[in-house]
Amino acid sequence: MKITASAISLNVDDVTASATFVKQYFGFSEQMSADGFVSLAREDAGFNLGFLKTGFKNGIGKLQTHLYA
């Protein structure tokens, strides 16, 4: 098996604040966002980073499956 992509998904209380911090201090950029979710990437990081609002259950599982499949 060859791994072609990796992602880390974290549940957080404040998606916007978490994404802002990572963009400001680690140079990630926003790739996609939806209500209660954001996906960030950095070309040289070797992974995508997703933040999901803790307790959010509005079909986001389908979105994550699509993004990280």
Q: Which residue ranges form the domains of the chain, and what is each CATH number? A: 7-68 (3.30.720.120)
Instruction: Give the pLDDT of residue 31.
Output: 94
- Indicate if the pLDDT at residue 2 is higher than 90: no
* β-strand pairing of 48-53 with 37-41: antiparallel
Helix ranges (DSSP H) in 1-69: 15-26, 60-68
Closest CA to 8 of 54, 58, 45, 33: 45
Instruction: Give the pLDDT of residue 52.
Output: 92
- 7-62 pLDDT, tens digit per residue, is 999 999 999 999 999 999 999 999 999 888 999 999 898 899 999 998 876 555 55
d(CA 44, CA 60): 26
- Indicate if the pLDDT at residue 65 is higher than 80: no
Phi/psi of residue 66, nearest 5 degrees: -65, -45
Instruction: Give the pLDDT of residue 55.
Output: 81
